[in-house]
Amino acid sequence: MKEKEPEYDFSRGRRGPVAASPAGKARITIRLDQDILEWFKNKVHEAGGGNYQTLINQALREYMQYRDGLLAETLRRVIKEELAAPRN
């Protein structure tokens, strides 16, 4: 005779992740090229451990700061050129 399988009560269950995301963090799904993902994982491994997602986040933040710096530099150059241009 077959044993009766235990019954589970999911009536009070909730959908979604088990752990909530920390404040200021968003849970997303992103598709990266395999070689990029492997590069970040290897860098974390070479450093003796850590989280490759944190490393990707840091790289994106540095890129944002770099781009903002380029924009600020361009704006300064344009303003300087405009101020130096002869007025009619």
- Model confidence over 67-80: pLDDT tens digits? 988 888 888 888 98
Using 50, 70 and 90 to split pLDDT, how confident is the model at 2? Answer: low
- Model confidence over 13-58: pLDDT tens digits? 888 777 778 899 888 899 999 999 999 999 999 999 999 999 999 9
pTM of the model: 0.63
CA distances from 29 to 22, 24, 32, 56 (A): 16, 16, 10, 14
Question: DSSP label at 74?
Answer: H
Q: How many CB atoms lie within 10 A of CB 56?
A: 19
Contact 51, 44 (CB under 8 A): yes
